[in-house]
Amino acid sequence: MKKRALFMLAILVVAGTFWGALDRIHLFGDPVRAPMDDYYLNNAQQERSVNNVVTAIVFDYRGFDTLGEAAVLFTAVCSVLALFRKGREGQ
């Protein structure tokens, strides 16, 4: 009986956490502007000399992050290739 009560308490805590998280999510399509959005829009062309703000964010402002993502993808591809390569004959 004690395990069942503890299980029910855990379920209530998890459900309450999800309910609280879902309550704070904005509606789909509802634009939520952050202060950094305005900074990027106002300063990207002057600071990075590009007309495309998305390109400025991905390759200039977040360049190290993009480099890290590329390294992770490269490592994943190399790992898959290493797992599925055929061994030499006779070994």
What is the DSSP code string of 26-91? Answer: PPTT-----HHHHHHHHHHHHHH--S-HHHHIIIIITHHHHHHHHHHHHHHHHHHHHHHPPPPTT-
Average pLDDT over residues 31-54: 86
Domain boundaries, the chain: 2-84
**Residue 34 or residue 16, greater confidence:** 16
**Residue 86 or residue 56, greater confidence:** 56
Contacts (Cβ under 8 Å, ≥6 apart) of 89: none
Q: What is the overall mean pLDDT for the chain?
A: 87
CA dist 77 → 28, 64, 82, 91 (Å) = 34, 20, 9, 25
pTM of the model: 0.44
**Residue 91 or residue 39, greater confidence:** 39
pLDDT at 88: 65
